[in-house]
Structure 1
Amino acid sequence: MRTIVVLFTRDLRVHDNPALHAACRVADQVIPLFVHDGEIRVSPIRRDFLTRCLAGLRGSLRALGGDLIIRYGDPVAEALRLAAEHHAEGIGLAADVSRYAARRQARLLAEGERHRLAVRLFDGVTVVPPGALRPSGGGSHYKVFTPYWRTWQEYPRRAELPPPDRVTLPPGIEPGELEARPGDGEPAALDALECWLSRVDGYGDTHDELANAGGTSRLSAYLHLGCLSPLVLANATAHAEPYVRQLCWRDFYQQVLAGFPGLPDKAYRPGAADDWADDPVALAAWQEGRTGVPVVDAGMRQLQAEGFMHNRARMITASYLTKQLGLDWRAGAAWFDRWLLDADVANNYGNWQWVAGTGNDSKPYRRFNPDRQASRFDPDGTYIERWAPELLSAQRKRWAESKIRPTRAAG
């Protein structure tokens, strides 16, 4: 009996899952495993979402005859322990590029070699693998988005993979406890994708409207945990270029992080200023949505309430922290990382550096005037009224005093 352990990380799905597909194709028995690493601390809202996504994955695997094995502790140690207990000959997992993922992968590869256990990494976290595209002039990665976008569009994509026909577990394996939560994850992500396909053609005209809940896909959290394959999403929306560009931006920052692992804590742009102010009181007010700037406070309150913030609001709030308050982008990125359900390391820290002027932006000194941004993207004050209702009159007063006329931005 050939047995393989599949260590799920950020690929919580059965559709188009290269590691699971390969294991079920070559092995008689497959052990789908997820390990809760106690060293990773997240907010309750992120923990709850992860649990619901794991419940969805467990349901999908049980429908195929298998189960999701839940363990707690060190992912490498737990994967090796299960492999030894059930005489597995290999471990498969999705390749990833954060420092945490790189350490986990390096340890697994080293321990696998020591125990004569095959460890294989599979691409699938991005549309195009992070190391697949290299600039013609040399270097480990593209530093500018536009040439990357041109090359990315031409790259031949692998075929989408169907879910396995069946997943067979070794007998007697204890599945482990998973806190009861309503199912979410892949089934919900696929439903959300179907809904989004009926609206994606309007993305270019509506995606900046702060109060338009249907103007964006709201699929980013599912992409972050891999409940939805980015390849499936890119193929399904290929006709909608403005939206596909956003998926390319996601891949772009993954290859930036792969080439510059220090992205979460070091300025990416050589010579970027790094003399940020230290003001814990101002930082706390920003975090809690108490700055008194209506659109900024609205965005920060949405963040804690939903674990989500509209992308336009992310740019406004990040610009306010770094350009108006002069506070360190790392503090802001860490706060987003704590609360956002889609807090991917590459995209979160890459975008923060872009706004702060330390990253890939070709115009590092740009800033977003929050009143002008609100006038363009929330001209009726609907977004502010929802998240910071007591500040709506203040916003109208600010517009009047600055002679800004609210005007809906053209698509």
Structure 2
Amino acid sequence: MTVSVVLYTSDLRVHDHPPLRAALEGAQEVVPLFVRDPAVDRAGFAAPNRLAFLADCLADLDRGLADRGGRLVVREGDTVSEVRTLVRQTEADEVHMAAGVTAFAREREARLRKALEDDGCRLYVHDGVVTVVPPGDVLPHGSDHFAVFTPYYKRWTAEPLRTPLSAPTSLHVPSDVRSERIRRRSAVADVSPALAVGGESEGRRLLGSWLAQHLDTYQDRHDDLAGDVTSRLSPYLHFGAVSATEAVHRASRRGGEGADAFVRQLCWRDFHHQVLAARPEAAGADYRPRQDRWRRGADAEADLAAWREGRTGYPVVDAAMRQLAHEGWMHNRGRLITASFLVKTLYIDWREGARHFLSLLVDGDVANNQLNWQWVAGTGTDTRPQRVLNPVRQGKRYDPDGSYVRRWVPELADLDGPVVHEPWRLTGLDRASVDYPDPLVELPEALERFRQARSAA
């Protein structure tokens, strides 16, 4: 009886899963394995929202496998040690897994390959499982990655897409392989109150309903903060509960400007993965150093705390930060506005913002979170590194009637129209009746501070 192991990491699904399909084709029995590795906790990526969402994903994956006669095997410990133990127990000939791009994932893969070779077992690492186009498949002349999005996008769209794979109809797992219990979402403390439900079933339902209801208007309304017609698929893509390749195929079949805009966003995701694959140090170091001397000290710490708490005095910034705390998710336009405010208006190190986002975002992804922060900070791939987003103008443009602000900043719920974006302009008793702080900083002064700092650097 031949046995293969499928090591699940950030690809928690049964549909369009090349490692699972390859394992089934090469063996009579397959062990779908997920290892809860304490090294992830030590690296600081085991945030409560992601742990709760992960619990949903694992439970749903187990149900999906059970519907096909299998089950998910869960172990806790060092990934390499646990896989090696399982291989020896089952006398498995092959291990299949999806390729990763982070330094952690690559180091884990290298250790696993060496350990399995010593046991006479082959490791197969599959590209194009987490991303649409594998990092490194599209390269500019004379470089190991694209540093600018637009030329990458042109090449990316010309690449042939692999056909999504259907879910297997059946699989058999050796009956004597033990598994630990899957942690329930309810066992995770400090989870955001309105955190989305995780899992492939929910992700596929969301993808289908969003494509039918909102894809056609996505091009015109994707920045509408109050309307919120974004897909909200980012958590499911981060955990691999939804295949990015399948999402591209399904959107492209419908066609239109909305589909083009949505596929472009998925390309941005691939773009950041190929940057990080080539420059893994960009997870913590400036991709393009600007010699910034970020603000430090008590005043900067107080401003950072106010930003985290949604008490900056700029309503659209505070609304987005409160949405993050409540949902573990934030509208993409809100991410741009809040990030620009921290790094350029307050001139505080982008790593502080990235760290806070990773502590709450259910879709907290090293490639996309860190490199998007660097893009906004001007230390990344943005071709206009000095751009600064004015939060008042952004609020009036993307939340013109103030509905988004009033939803998340109840102190301003009684203010009508655009005045909600500038409550400090109220006078007398009107201002005194609003329990909302004055702005941390005047925007013209902050802009001049940033420009002088970058000029000096």
What's the TM-score, normalizing by structure 1? 0.94
SS at match of 1:39: helix
SS at match of 1:263: helix
Match for 1:370: what amino acid?
P
Aligned to 1:134: 139
1:60-99 C-alpha deviation (Å, 9 max, x unpaired):
0000111011111111111111111111112111001011
Deviation at 1:181, TM superposition (A): 4.7
Aligned to 1:119: 123
Taking the aligned partners of 1:399 and 1:186, their CA distance within structure 2 comes to 48
Taking the aligned partners of 2:350 and 2:239, their CA distance within structure 1 comes to 24
Residue 71 of structure 1 pairs with residue 86 of structure 2: no
Structure with larger Rg:
2
Deviation at 1:273, TM superposition (A): 2.9
Match for 1:395: what amino acid?
H
Contact 2:314 2:422 (C-alpha < 8 Å) held by counterparts = no
Taking the aligned partners of 2:351 and 2:263, their CA distance within structure 1 comes to 28
Deviation at 1:288, TM superposition (A): 1.6
Aligned to 1:363: 384
Aligned to 1:57: 61
Match for 1:27: what amino acid?
A
Aligned to 2:261: 242
Taking the aligned partners of 1:80 and 1:302, their CA distance within structure 2 comes to 43
Aligned to 2:88: 84
Match for 1:374: what amino acid?
G
Residue 263 of structure 1 pairs with residue 297 of structure 2: no
Residue 22 of structure 1 pairs with residue 22 of structure 2: yes
Q: 1:218 aligns with which of 218, 229, 232?
A: 232
In the alignment, structure 2 segments of 5+ residues that lack a partner are 187-196, 428-441, 443-457
Aligned to 2:109: 105
Between stretches 275-284 and 53-62, larger displacement belongs to 275-284
SS at match of 1:128: coil
Aligned to 1:295: 316
Aligned to 2:421: 395
1:168-247 to 2 correspondences below 5 Å: 168-181=172-185, 184-198=198-212, 199-213=214-228, 215-238=229-252, 239=255, 240-247=259-266
Between stretches 200-209 and 36-45, larger displacement belongs to 36-45
Between stretches 288-297 and 177-186, larger displacement belongs to 177-186
Deviation at 1:211, TM superposition (A): 1.0
1:157-191 C-alpha deviation (Å, 9 max, x unpaired):
11211111211111222232013459841111110
Taking the aligned partners of 2:219 and 2:306, their CA distance within structure 1 comes to 33
Aligned to 2:452: none
In the alignment, structure 1 segments of 5+ residues that lack a partner are 403-411
Percent of residue pairs bearing the same amino acid type: 47
Aligned to 1:408: none
SS at match of 1:93: strand
1:147-162 to 2 correspondences below 5 Å: 147-162=151-166
Match for 2:168: what amino acid?
P
Q: 1:146 aligns with which of 144, 147, 150?
A: 150
Deviation at 1:242, TM superposition (A): 0.9
Contact 1:371 1:398 (C-alpha < 8 Å) held by counterparts = no
Aligned to 1:351: 372
Taking the aligned partners of 1:330 and 1:150, their CA distance within structure 2 comes to 30
Taking the aligned partners of 2:409 and 2:81, their CA distance within structure 1 comes to 47
Aligned to 2:348: 327
Taking the aligned partners of 1:212 and 1:119, their CA distance within structure 2 comes to 46
Contact 1:268 1:353 (C-alpha < 8 Å) held by counterparts = yes
Closer/same/farther in 2, CA of residues 372 and 400 from structure 1, 3 Å limit? farther
Closer/same/farther in 2, CA of residues 400 and 358 from structure 1, 3 Å limit? farther
Deviation at 1:398, TM superposition (A): 4.7
Match for 1:303: what amino acid?
L
Taking the aligned partners of 1:358 and 1:308, their CA distance within structure 2 comes to 24
Count of residue correspondences: 399
SS at match of 1:237: helix
Match for 1:309: what amino acid?
M
1:235-268 C-alpha deviation (Å, 9 max, x unpaired):
1112211111000000000000011111111111
Match for 2:264: what amino acid?
R
Closer/same/farther in 2, CA of residues 194 and 328 from structure 1, 3 Å limit? same
Q: 2:100 aligns with which of 92, 96, 103?
A: 96
Match for 1:325: what amino acid?
L
Deviation at 1:313, TM superposition (A): 0.4
Taking the aligned partners of 1:323 and 1:252, their CA distance within structure 2 comes to 24
Taking the aligned partners of 1:290 and 1:382, their CA distance within structure 2 comes to 18
SS at match of 1:92: strand
Deviation at 1:43, TM superposition (A): 2.5
Measured on the aligned residues, the alpha-carbon RMSD in Å equals: 1.6
Deviation at 1:379, TM superposition (A): 1.2
